[in-house]
Amino acid sequence: MTNVYNNILELIGNTPMLRLNSVVKDIPAQVFAKLESCNPGHSTKDRIALHIIENAEKQGILKSDSVIVETTSGNTGFSVAMVSIVKGYKCILAVSDKTKPEKIAYLKALGAQVYICPANVPADDPRSYYEVAKRIAAETPNSVYINQYFNELNINAHYKTTGPEIWEQTEGKVTHLFACTGTGGTLSGSAKFLKEKNPDIKIIGVDALGSILKSYHETGEIHKEDIRPYQIEGMGKNLIPSALLFDKIDEFVRVNDEMSAYRTREIALKEAIMGGYTTGAVTQGFIQYANSHPFKESDLVVLIFPDHGSRYITKVYSDQWMAEQGFINNCVHNYDEVFKTEYVK
C-alpha cells in the first residue's frame, strides 16, 4: 500500500514549501513559506515533542506510568499531548492566560491536564507558567519535564529535520532564513545546519515588541525596560532561553501586534494560507527587513510559517477582537470592506 502509515506520528516532518506571490510581489527575491501547519499537530512543535520524548524513551527516562510535564503557549502542548496519546503517557501542561479558550479546549480534548497561569508576571514569579511547570514536575511522581526553553534537544530536532529539509527543497540555493523566535529551537537548529552547509546564508530572527531577545542579541544584556505586554503568542520572551543560539543569528527584526495582525489576515486573503499570528509576524519581519536591506532577484528567501490559523479564529481572525485592540480603526490596508459582514434580511 502507498502513503499508508501506522500512526499519526509517522506524518511528522517533510512539510511542503510554497512560493509566496501577492504579499511580497514588490520585493525582488524568490520568497517561499515552509508550511509547518502541515504537520499532523498543525505546528512545527510536533518535531520537538516527538524527538524529545523518543530520546527520553531511549535513555530509559520514560516508563509506562510516566507523566510528561511541559510549559507551553499552546502549540508545544498540542504536540506533546498528541505524542503522549500514541505512546500511552499522561500529560500535564502549564499555559499562560494569553492562551485563547479554544486552544485550552483543544488541549483538554487531547487528554491533557491544564494549569492556566498569568502571562504578565516575571519569569521567576512562582505564578509564571515556567515556575508552575517546574513545581508540578517536582511534585508529580514519575514525571518528566520537557523544558523546551532549556533543552538542547529542541535545537537538535530542527538540526536533524527542518534544516536538512530546507536545504534539500531549495537545492542548496537558500540565501536567507527568517523565523519567529520564542524558545528559539526552530530557528537555531535550522540555522546551525544551514550555516554548516553555507556560512553566508543570512539568518534573521523575528522578535516581538515587548520582548528582550533582540536587544539581548545586540548588547549581551537583558533590558528589562523592553518588557511589556503583547498579544502575539509563542513568540518573544522575558527570559533568555538556552535553546536560542544567538551566535547563529545574524540579525533580529522586531515587529508589533498590529502590523503582524494585518499581515496575518493579508496572507489569508491574498495567498489563501490560513496561518497563525506568527505567520503574519514573520512575514512582517521580512518586509521590514527588506525596507533597509535590498534584495536581488537571485536571492532565495525562506520564511518558516509555524502553525495553522484555526487556532486563532477568535483572536486575529475575529473582527470583534481586532476592533477591541483598535486595529481595524487604524487599518492601513483598507481592509474595512473586507472585514464587513453582510447579513441577509
pLDDT digits (tens, 9 = 90+) for 212-230: 999 999 999 999 999 998 9
pLDDT in tens, 245-259: 999 999 999 999 999
In a domain, residue 215? The reply is yes
pLDDT in tens, 100-116: 788 889 999 999 999 99
**What's the mean pLDDT in 181-197?**
96
**Cell, residue 200:** 553566508
Q: Are residues 94 and 194 in the same domain?
A: no
Q: Are residues 13 and 55 in the same domain?
A: no
In a domain, residue 114? The reply is yes
Q: Is the predicted pLDDT of residue 342 greater than 70, yes or no?
A: no
Query: Residue 233's pLDDT is what?
Result: 86
Would you say 95 and 114 are in contact if contact means Cβ atoms under 8 Å apart? yes
Lowest mean pLDDT across 39-48, 93-102, 110-119, 293-302:
93-102
Q: Where are the beta strands (DSSP E) in 172-228?
A: 176-180, 202-208
Please tell me the number of Cα atoms within 13 Å of 22 on its side-chain side.
Answer: 10
Q: Are residues 170 and 246 in the same domain?
A: yes
Report the largest interatomic distance among the alpha carbons of the chain, rounded to a whole angstrom.
Answer: 64
CATH code, domain carrying 32: 3.40.50.1100
Query: Residue 344's pLDDT is what?
Result: 55
In a domain, residue 65? The reply is yes
Q: Are residues 309 and 243 in the same domain?
A: yes
**What's the mean pLDDT in 161-186?**
97
Q: How far apart are CA 89 and CA 54, in angstroms?
A: 12
Q: How far apart are CA 190 and CA 188, in angstroms?
A: 6
Q: Are residues 103 and 17 in the same domain?
A: no
In a domain, residue 343? The reply is no
Which of 127, 149, 171 is the C-terminal boundary of a domain?
149
Q: Which residues span the domain enclosing 24?
A: 8-38+161-336
**Cell, residue 230:** 503583547
Q: Are residues 104 and 167 in the same domain?
A: no
**What's the mean pLDDT in 286-301?**
96
In a domain, residue 156? The reply is no
The residues near 26 (Cβ < 8 Å, ≥ 6 apart) are none
In a domain, residue 99? The reply is yes
The residues near 157 (Cβ < 8 Å, ≥ 6 apart) are 47, 48, 50, 51, 52, 185, 189
Residue 337: pLDDT band by 50, 70, 90 thresholds?
low
**What's the mean pLDDT in 14-26?**
96
Burial class (CB in 10 A: 0-12, 13-18, 19+), 133: buried
Which of 123, 149, 175 is the C-terminal boundary of a domain?
149
Which of 91, 118, 149 is the C-terminal boundary of a domain?
149
Query: Residue 103's pLDDT is what?
Result: 83
Q: Is the predicted pLDDT of residue 304 greater than 60, yes or no?
A: yes
Q: Are residues 267 and 301 in the same domain?
A: yes
Residue 194: which of 221, 163, 148 has the closest Cα?
163
Catalogue the active-site residues. 45
Mean pLDDT of the chain: 92
Would you say 256 and 209 are in contact if contact means Cβ atoms under 8 Å apart? yes
Residue 334: pLDDT band by 50, 70, 90 thresholds?
low
**Cell, residue 172:** 542548496
Q: Is the predicted pLDDT of residue 333 greater than 90, yes or no?
A: no
Q: How far apart are CA 252 and CA 247, in angstroms?
A: 12
Q: Is the predicted pLDDT of residue 341 greater than 50, yes or no?
A: no
Q: Are residues 49 and 25 in the same domain?
A: no
**What's the mean pLDDT in 70-87?**
92
Q: Is the predicted pLDDT of residue 122 greater than 90, yes or no?
A: no
**What's the mean pLDDT in 1-12?**
94
Q: Are residues 136 and 261 in the same domain?
A: no
Q: Are residues 94 and 242 in the same domain?
A: no
Residue 126 has phi, psi (to 5 degrees) of -60, -15
Q: Are residues 85 and 165 in the same domain?
A: no
How many domains, in total, are found in the chain?
Answer: 2
